Amino acid sequence: MSVPASLPAPTDDALLVLFANGDRDAARELTLRLTPRAYGVAVRVLGDRAEAEDVAQEAMMRLWRMSPDWQPGNAKVSTWLYRVVLNLCLDIKRRRRGTMAALDEVPEPVDPGKGVVEGMQDSARAGALQRALMQLPDRQRQAVVLRHMEELSNPEIAGIMQISTEAVESLTARGKRALATALAGRRRELGYEDG
């Protein structure tokens, strides 16, 4: 598959059809497009990079397997994938229910271009956000991650979570309020009062 630069990039729909027809380039392109989203959501929802990696790989495997049955135009491929990721995350959470995730073990990336103190502060902020996210009920956390980390619209989130748009608005509002409350007492610690 070689697409001239002047043509618009093929849609996920089209790539999935090409994949089902045996196009190897379509497999690579879909992997590059969709895996970061699947992995990113799974990391935020699970708080565990190793489990998120497994979830992303399994979700993509399910995408490959269902590709011959895909009906282009009916739904977005990304919507289908997010839904599978969230369901896999829920399965994992059910399996490990009763045990707290070891969030302190979650390695947070530090930008090597920044100073040590700034880097630590960024890392502290990201860690604080992740810990606060993990305190939210599952559905609230899912909605907040999709809205504020993936920047999806409420109707898209409603489609993924299979709830009404109003329910999404309610979940994200409550989730955001809980997060703000959890982080409110740590403003100085997280470096927000430096300026």
Give the interface with another protein as residue ranges (CB under 8 A).
19-20, 22, 24, 27-28, 30-32, 35-36, 39-40, 49, 53, 56-57, 60-61, 64-65, 67-68, 109, 111, 122, 125-126, 128-129, 148-149, 151, 176-177, 179-185, 187, 190, 192
Smallest distance, Å, CB 53 to another protein?
Answer: 5
Residue written as tokens 């956000």?
129
Smallest distance, Å, CB 6 to another protein?
Answer: 27
Distance, C-alpha 110 to centroid of its chain: 20
Smallest distance, Å, CB 129 to another protein?
Answer: 5
Smallest distance, Å, CB 29 to another protein?
Answer: 10
Question: Which residue, 163 or 190, is less far from another protein as judged by CB?
Answer: 190
What is the C-alpha separation between 44 and 36, in angstroms, rounded?
Answer: 12
Question: Which residue, 20 or 163, is less far from another protein as judged by CB?
Answer: 20
